[in-house]
Amino acid sequence: MFTVVNGSPMQWRVDTRTTLLEALRDTAGLTGTKRGCDQGACGACTVHVDGKRVLSCLTLAAQADGRQVTTIEGLAGDDGPHPLQEAFLRHDAFQCGFCTPGQLMSAACLLREGRAGSDAAIREYMSGNLCRCGAYDNIVAAIRDVAKGAD
């Protein structure tokens, strides 16, 4: 199978039962995407496939064949951290940090989709990403800042 991960072409040979999460972590060595619940309930494994958020624990690697995959390692640009990464630091929008990659990947899509019109909308569209530490208010504040261009 052939795919582009974080802008780099990759050719993988994986079992048909291999999830995208397993391929990214175990085959490509990109361990920023986290394994949480393995049931699609926590959002820790969120990545982008062709610009849309996807739960990599529920997506077969074969489904990414011929597609563009972006992981947390590819979120930053050549010119430095993504504005969301800077805002998460500024607002202390993480505690243990385990959920942060998935939160950032979902938030990037939320902003691109134009769904950050209010705190309630941000909370609704981020509801698939759980934070056991309870940093939700800070996460919303960071997303709101980037949505308003305050980075």
pLDDT tens across the length of the chain (151 residues):
899 999 999 998 999 999 999 999 999 999 999 999 999 999 999 999 999 999 999 999 999 999 999 999 999 989 999 999 999 999 999 899 999 999 999 999 999 999 999 999 999 999 999 999 999 999 999 999 999 985 4
DSSP characters over the chain: -EEEETTEEEE----TT-BHHHIIIIIS--TTSPP--SSSSS-TTEEEETTEEEETTSSBGGGGTTSEEE-GGGTSBTTBS-HHHHHHHHTT--SS-SSHHHHHHHHHHHHHTT--SSHHHHHHHTTTS--TT--HHHHHHHHHHHHTT--
CATH class belonging to 83-147? mainly alpha
Task: Please give the CATH architecture assigned to the domain spanning 2-74.
Answer: Roll (3.10)
Question: Where do the structural domains in the chain lie, given as residue ranges?
Answer: 2-74, 83-147
Q: Torsions phi, psi of 69, nearest 5?
A: -115, 135
